[in-house]
Amino acid sequence: MTAPILSVKDLKVTFAIHQGKRWPWSPARSLHAVNGVSFDLSQGKTLGIVGESGCGKSTLIRAIAGLVPPSEGQVWLDGAAIDYNNRRDMQTLRRRMQMIFQDPIASLNPRMTIRDIVAEPLIYFRPEMSAADRRNATRDMLDRVGIPERNFNRFPHEFSGGQCQRIGIARALVSAPQILLCDEPVSALDVSTQAQVINLLKDLQAEMGLTLVFVAHDLGVIRHISDDVLVMYMGGVMEKAPASHVVDAPRHPYSQALLSAVPVPDPRVKTTPQVLNGDLPSPIDLPPGCLFQSRCPKRIDACRNVRPALLGSANRQVACLLEDV
């Protein structure tokens, strides 16, 4: 069996916050954004991470990228543990792992032309390259994402959202990373542009052998691009399985509710989204039992006190106490 290129083990991210009046002696409380997430990802595969807003998806991949300091847990890249406090480790991480952000326009420097934006990573990661080689690499990468050379001296505000996301993809890939972390890269785009960007990512993945971690809240998008899916709720993993398993036959009640909300583009098919009643628990004061029990339509008494572990086979793992799940 091939060793995974990216391994995450029991990763946790907490933030210290002060509520109400902040006195010098008042203790900080912990906001639990990510609660013990683990997964392995093989070379050339795509892991989709899905869940509603605030479930910890973006915090998770930002912690993997070192943009948010992990509180606990460990990340391995090609079998080597990453020390986020070691400058050399972080330089290696940045060179081999790049990120695409949710807001395509805000993620680009408005004072730089797109030629300079895309060339900038080469200055940092490939200082041995000549100026001519950087120009050629920049031109080739922008051409691959569909930006013609006549536009290279324009600024980000002169492009549409979809074009800016293509520029962001070019910037991320110009230094030839192995792993691409995608933080809801299509959520700010219209449906037709979403399809174009997703197809572009799939084509580039096939050409360059990329490994993707793709965050979204839409299971329809996740199914189209992912090999495996991680369903998150309140910072924890509710279900982990191949994309076809999760989309065609979700086992966890939360996964079922998410899937029921996906619109079907066929007027002959009538769907009824499942409404989740109950209060969302506070990430500052997590319940002792199942994280989903306050909103779960299938909860049993044991759910109030027992935190279910993520159990199952290699093909599917579910964090639920129900025997029929």
The structural domain count of the chain equals 1
Angle between helices 191-208 and 161-173 (to 10 degrees): 20
State the DSSP code for 157. Answer: G
Q: Is residue 295 part of a domain?
A: yes
The Cα 257–Cα 261 span in angstroms is 7
Per the structure, the complete domain to which residue 250 belongs is given by 6-16+29-318
| CA-to-CA dists, residue 288 to 28, 42, 300, angstroms | 20, 34, 14
**Residue 155 falls inside a structural domain:** yes
**Assigned domain for 205 exists:** yes
Quick one: pLDDT band at residue 84, thresholds 50, 70, 90?
very high
Whether 1 maps to a domain, the answer reads no
Residue 120 belongs to domain with CATH number: 3.40.50.300
Report the percentage of the chain scoring pLDDT > 70.
94
Does 21 fall in a domain? no
Residue 98 in any domain: the answer is yes
Residue 151 corresponds to which amino acid? Answer: N
Residue recorded with tokens 């197809």:
199
DSSP characters over 194-244: HHHHHHHHHHHHHHHT-EEEEEES-HHHHHHH-SEEEEEETTEEEEEEEHH
Query: Quick check: 22 pLDDT over 80?
Result: no
The size of the chain, in residues, is: 325
Distance from first CA to last CA of the chain, Å, rounded? 29
pLDDT of residue 130: 93
Can you give the pTM of this predicted structure? 0.90
- Decide if 242 is inside a domain: yes
Average per-residue pLDDT in the chain? 89
d(CA 222, CA 57): 13
More confident residue, 268 or 34: 34
In which band, very low, low, confident or very high, does the pLDDT at 18 lie, cut at 50, 70 and 90? Answer: confident
Given this model, what pLDDT does residue 191 score? 79
pLDDT over 60 (residue 287):
yes
Q: Residue 325 has what pLDDT?
A: 46
Q: Is 108 domain-assigned?
A: yes
pLDDT in tens, 197-226: 899 999 999 999 999 999 988 777 888 899
